[in-house]
Amino acid sequence: MSATLTSTPRADGFRMPGEHEPQQAVVMAWPERSDNWRNNAGPAQQAFTAVASAIVAETPVKMCVSAGQAHNARAMLPNEVELLEIPCNDSWMRDIGPSYVVNNKGAVRGVDWHFNAWGGEVNGLYEDWSLDEALASSLLRARGEDRYRAPLVLEGGSIHVDGEGTCITTAECLLHPGRNPQLGQADIEALLRDYLNVDTFFWLPLGVVNDETDGHIDNILHIARPGEVLLTWCDDPADPVYNICRDALAVLSAQPDAAGRELTVHKLPLPGPLFMSAEEAAGIQLSDNMVREPGERLAGSYANFLITNARVVFPLLDAATDDAARAILERVFPEHEVVGIPGREILLGGGNIHCITQQIPA
């Protein structure tokens, strides 16, 4: 039985573990939204299948799917992928799924954040997000996991934790007026302390340019393990990401983490710049909120990868930089097999591999 708890994870001795820690499963959601995924989501479904196949070789995968897409998903996905009939408005599981917390006795619970489609009435990407808002609760109930309902609008892609008391985020996202305009930075930190069990915060000013999530941390930085991060890096002074990543490095270098360590920063090359083609834009149904135009700059980043048991699954985005990104990931994760999956179709929808996955800790 799944219960909704009135306490907080911190009060109950729970913490959000780092992504590098052991996982029992990874949960995803099946794409079908034709005003975000081109050609009725067919290419995106192939891309999601490739990601799920790469993960399920090492870690069980559970795919949330609508009743109308269950047959299609079952035909495309490996038999090992378990289907859960839980619908959503769009398939960004990192943002709509629960953030999982654990205690030292092996219990697992979920934090259910409020979700408003990345900005609500201010700059939300669609007008009806009711299925997304309900998904975390439905998933926890289906799995029999207890739930904390956090009084905060927040997407999982906007936070990274090391599992040892450190949280890294962006001011661009968490302080955006479309999320929690009634709360200041200190108020948000207090809630994250209670619901993630963290003590030290790094606030990067901005995320990757043109990221329609208002600069999610997971698209510019990834925590490899406590004390060690990978940061998107640009060496072209004419590119706006040039200053963004240098300002980020300054923040990461300015203080120790929760355990008193100076952070080691590995630099990941920025792919591209990448732009949406006319053919790609033509395959997307027009809608009021999600603008998809030829020539639009895509928020491509190799930081948007997933660490899972024995594997790191990262997006292939640019033939000029894919091999360099792989080499860095192999050096940073010597115990993992680094697997590259074509990521452009996911990027066209506004994110990448980290955005469409959510790990359930062991």
Tens digits of residue pLDDT in 289-302? 777 889 999 999 99
Any residues with CB less than 8 A from the CB of 319 and at least 6 apart, and which?
Answer: none
Buried-state track 163-172, b at ≥16 Cβ within 10 A, e below 16: bbbbbbbbbb
User: Does 5 map to a domain?
Assistant: no
Over residues 300-312, the pLDDT tens digits come to: 999 999 999 999 9
User: Does 3 map to a domain?
Assistant: no
Over residues 40-89, the pLDDT tens digits come to: 999 999 999 999 999 999 999 999 999 999 999 999 999 999 999 999 99
Q: What is the mean pLDDT of the chain?
A: 97
- DSSP annotation of 59: S
Domain that holds residue 70: 16-361
Buried-state track 201-224, b at ≥16 Cβ within 10 A, e below 16: bbbbebbbbebbbbbbbbbbbbbb
User: Does 89 map to a domain?
Assistant: yes
**Has residue 283 got a pLDDT over 80?**
yes
The CATH number that applies at residue 90 is 3.75.10.10
| Active-site annotation, residues | 355
Over residues 211-227, the pLDDT tens digits come to: 999 999 999 999 999 99
User: Does 93 map to a domain?
Assistant: yes
Domain count across the chain = 1
Alpha-carbon distance 289 to 126, whole Å?
6
The DSSP H or E segment spanning 72 is: helix 70-76
Over residues 140-163, the pLDDT tens digits come to: 999 999 999 999 999 999 999 999
Quick count: other Cβ atoms within 10 Å of Cβ 85? Answer: 12
**Has residue 204 got a pLDDT over 90?**
yes
The pLDDT value given to residue 292? 83
102 CB-contact burial (10 Å; exposed 0-12 / middle 13-18 / buried 19+): buried
The pLDDT value given to residue 286? 85
User: Does 1 map to a domain?
Assistant: no
The pLDDT value given to residue 247? 98
User: Does 11 map to a domain?
Assistant: no
The pLDDT value given to residue 1? 85
User: Does 183 map to a domain?
Assistant: yes
User: Does 169 map to a domain?
Assistant: yes
The pLDDT value given to residue 83? 98
What percent of the chain is modeled with pLDDT above 90? 97
**Has residue 288 got a pLDDT over 80?**
no
Alpha-carbon distance 325 to 316, whole Å?
9
Over residues 6-34, the pLDDT tens digits come to: 999 999 999 999 999 999 999 999 999 99
